[in-house]
Amino acid sequence: MGIKELMGLTDAEVAKPLPKPTIWSRPFWEGTKQGKLLLKKCNDCGTIDHPPYLYCTNCMSEKSQWIEASGKGTLYAYAINVFGVPFPFWDDMPYVVAMIDLEEGPRMISNIVECDHDKLKNGMRLEVVFEKINDDITLPKWRPAR
């Protein structure tokens, strides 16, 4: 029995928050739907930003392009959530929130999946996987590299 049934809550009360793509992040979210991890790269200085911003965070240029990332990264830090989370995430516990250093340079916050929590170790190699939430949103998540 899930939290919804236990507490007599409505679907809306236990709905997980979803990303709301903006005009400058829409290509990232379109990429995830295709199983691609896209990053925004500045045409003027080469800085790769994540999350994507309207302008380059290094030189403020508005000239950029989208590049496909390798989908590889390194676990920088993590937390295993076992209590004290909002209702929508109760049925997922325990779950891992992590900071992943991408090979391309930026750091991403996401979840680690398909991994025994006892085997998590900072510095371990990871690879991206994608979880389709609905027709509009597919989330990038991470698992130990194979």
Query: Is 2 a domain residue?
Result: no
Query: Is 4 a domain residue?
Result: no
> pLDDT digit string (tens) for 21-76?
999 999 999 999 999 999 999 999 999 999 999 999 999 999 999 999 999 999 99
CA distance 74 to 60: 28
CB 92 within 8 A of CB 117: no
Query: Is 92 a domain residue?
Result: yes
* Domain interval for residue 135: 19-144
Q: What total number of domains does the chain contain?
A: 1
- Choice among 19-28, 46-55, 84-93, 135-144 with the minimum mean pLDDT: 84-93
Query: Is 106 a domain residue?
Result: yes
pTM: 0.90
